[in-house]
């Protein structure tokens, strides 16, 4: 009969894993035995007469100890399983059981004590869509037969994810003084492995019998990098919303906006934005402003239009916006009579890739019979163009006040008509085959 402490340990394990852990596992292609090596096995009532690890096939709590690596979603009471479907953004808990199956009677002379007992883990950093990540646990002991045993669990996904070990999450659980000890992150994943024990001052030594058994848990986060970038613009001073289509004239000033958003579950470091102004579009110095989670529209450098503007680091969910002004060149060579189309291109670059977006600017120069139609703005001396009298500052201010008083009603009428017209017409331009109507997503 086993020691009384064995019964207590069984009760503890039952309370942690639950009887549901003995239920049938999901049916995946990998359901066949994914542990090794093939070794001599034992039963709960007939333990081994030698030091051997995880070789009992009818453990009342775990079942077959050869299947000693299992996974579940962290923070849940789900059953630990060999196969788990993972979702980006969620964290998963890996469970690794260890047990020296030697008879308790062999501990007295030391022949039943496993020496230099270590656990090391293996797992990939990334998982392709439609495949599974193999999480492998290897337990070694210098005097065990065999010296090394291993088991696998599988993390299935329908989309690309990156697996990230949660630092400081590896903890040993047992009934001894090492219970609750946080294990070395580096040692857990290196070639030798981290030392296991029952007593905190006897690292690597594990007596035989189930009362000295235990398990290790740690967390893995399923990450998915991703970001969104959108480029929009409008005519400066207009009431129009920002759009990816602008209709303008030579000499007009345009407002542009680039919006970056970290949509993934990972931090993105050193994000770079850049902008390529189309022919005839000239940036206005001093109008480039960057808004981030830690700044509010601070003036930024003109690197945006050169090698790229580094806007810093962004945690999941954070975003940044760059705004700037551009003037359309009043150049008949670039913009002759009629319509000309120019594109303002933008890009966002991270360690996870680069995406682009653009704004289509249609520039119209009014002409009659191939001759440019001039306006008072072009030539204030033209007939019918009125100029303010050349008076002093005080007279000019007064003239303006009078003009505003006289024109107040007219301005109200014009604005009202503009709003009515805006309501009657669509605000969305038809999509152009050569344009990108929305930002790309990664």
| pLDDT tens per residue, range 255-282 | 999 999 998 888 899 999 999 999 999 9
All residues at 6 or more sequence positions from 236 whose CB lies less than 8 Å from its CB, including other chains:
252, 253, 254, 255, 325
Identify the CA nearest to 26 among candidates 158, 215, 155, 159: 155
All residues at 6 or more sequence positions from 44 whose CB lies less than 8 Å from its CB, including other chains:
56, 58, 59, 60
Q: Quickly tell me which residue has 């093939």 as its tokens.
A: 38
Beta carbons within 10 angstroms of residue 305's beta carbon:
17
Quote the pLDDT of residue 16: 33
Structure tokens at 106: 């062999």
Does 394 have pLDDT greater than 80? no
Quote the pLDDT of residue 160: 84
Residues 155-211: tens digit of each pLDDT = 999 988 889 999 999 999 999 999 999 999 999 999 999 999 999 999 999 999 999
CATH 2.60.40.740 placement within the chain: 227-385
pLDDT band at 14 (very low <50, low <70, confident <90, very high): very low
In whole angstroms, how far apart are CA 65 and each of 22, 37, 77, 416? Answer: 12, 13, 21, 80
Does 413 have pLDDT greater than 90? no
Quote the pLDDT of residue 38: 95
Does 212 have pLDDT greater than 80? yes
Does 15 have pLDDT greater than 70? no
Quote the pLDDT of residue 265: 87
| Cβ–Cβ < 8 Å for 344, 256 | yes
The end-to-end CA distance of the chain, in Å, is: 60
Q: Which CATH architecture has domain 227-385?
A: Sandwich (2.60)
Quote the pLDDT of residue 370: 57
Does 1 have pLDDT greater than 70? no
| Cβ–Cβ < 8 Å for 176, 200 | yes
pLDDT band at 381 (very low <50, low <70, confident <90, very high): low
Quote the pLDDT of residue 372: 60
Has this prediction a pTM greater than 0.85? no
Ramachandran quadrant class, 272 (left: phi over 0; alpha: psi -120 to 50; beta: rest): beta
Structure letter (DSSP) for residue 393 = H
Quote the pLDDT of residue 405: 32
Q: What is the mean pLDDT of residues 224-234?
A: 91
Identify the CA nearest to 233 among candidates 247, 213, 223: 247
Residues 32-59: tens digit of each pLDDT = 468 999 999 999 999 999 999 999 999 9
Which has the higher per-residue pLDDT, 295 or 408?
Answer: 295
Burial 235-261 (b: 16+ CB within 10 A, else e): bbeeeeebebbbebbbebebbbbbbbb
Identify the CA nearest to 133 among candidates 93, 96, 166, 162: 162
Structure letter (DSSP) for residue 240 = P
421 burial via Cβ count (<10 Å: 0-12, 13-18, 19+): exposed
Quote the pLDDT of residue 377: 53
Beta carbons within 10 angstroms of residue 55's beta carbon:
23
Does 389 have pLDDT greater than 50? no
Quote the pLDDT of residue 299: 84
Q: How many residues does the chain have?
A: 442
Identify the CA nearest to 122 among candidates 54, 174, 192: 192
Identify the CA nearest to 352 among candidates 302, 314, 303: 314
Quote the pLDDT of residue 89: 87
Residues 308-351: tens digit of each pLDDT = 999 999 998 999 999 999 999 999 999 999 999 999 999 999 98
Quote the pLDDT of residue 19: 32
């Amino acid at each position: 009969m086993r020691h009384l402490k064995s019964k207590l340990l069984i009760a503890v394990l039952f309370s942690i894993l639950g009887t549901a852990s003995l239920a049938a596992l999901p049916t995946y292609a990998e359901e066949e035995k994914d542990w090794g090596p093939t070794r001599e096995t034992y039963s709960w009532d007939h333990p081994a007469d030698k030091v051997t690890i995880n070789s009992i096939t009818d453990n009342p709590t775990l079942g077959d100890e050869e299947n000693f690596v299992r996974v579940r979603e962290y923070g849940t009471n789900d059953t630990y399983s060999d196969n788990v479907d993972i979702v980006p953004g969620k964290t998963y808990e890996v469970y690794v059981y260890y047990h020296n199956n030697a008879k308790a009677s062999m501990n007295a002379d030391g022949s039943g004590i496993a020496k230099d007992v270590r656990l090391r883990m293996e797992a990939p950093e990334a998982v392709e869509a439609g495949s599974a990540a193999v999480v492998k646990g290897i337990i070694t002991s210098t005097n065990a037969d065999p010296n090394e045993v291993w088991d696998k669990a599988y993390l299935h996904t329908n989309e690309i994810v990156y697996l990230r070990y949660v630092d400081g999450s590896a903890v040993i659980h047992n009934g001894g003084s090492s219970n609750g000890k946080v294990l070395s992150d580096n040692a857990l994943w290196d070639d030798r492995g981290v030392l296991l024990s029952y007593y905190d001052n006897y690292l690597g030594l594990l007596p035989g019998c189930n009362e000295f058994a235990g398990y290790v848990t740690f967390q893995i986060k399923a990450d998915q990098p991703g970001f969104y970038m959108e480029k929009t613009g409008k005519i400066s001073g207009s009431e129009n919303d920002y759009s990816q289509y602008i209709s303008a004239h030579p000499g007009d000033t345009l407002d542009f906006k680039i919006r970056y958003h970290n949509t993934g579950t990972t931090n993105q470091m050193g994000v770079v934005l850049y902008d390529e102004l189309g022919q005839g579009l000239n940036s206005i110095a001093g109008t480039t402003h960057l808004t981030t989670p830690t700044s509010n529209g601070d003036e930024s450098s003109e690197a945006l239009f050169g090698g790229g503007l580094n806007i810093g680091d962004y945690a999941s969910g954070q975003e940044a916006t760059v705004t700037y002004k551009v003037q359309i060149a009043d150049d008949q060579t670039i913009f002759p009579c009629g319509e000309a189309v120019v594109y303002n291109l933008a890009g966002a670059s991270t360690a996870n890739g680069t995406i682009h977006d653009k704004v289509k600017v249609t520039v119209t120069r009014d002409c009659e019979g191939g001759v440019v139609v001039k306006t008072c703005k072009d030539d204030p001396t033209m007939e019918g163009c009125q100029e303010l009298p050349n008076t002093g500052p005080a007279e000019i201010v007064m003239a303006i006040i009078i003009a505003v008083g006289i024109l107040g009603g007219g301005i109200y009428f014009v604005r009202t008509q503009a709003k009515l017209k805006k309501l009657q017409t669509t605000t969305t331009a038809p999509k152009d085959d050569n344009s990108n109507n929305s930002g790309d997503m990664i």
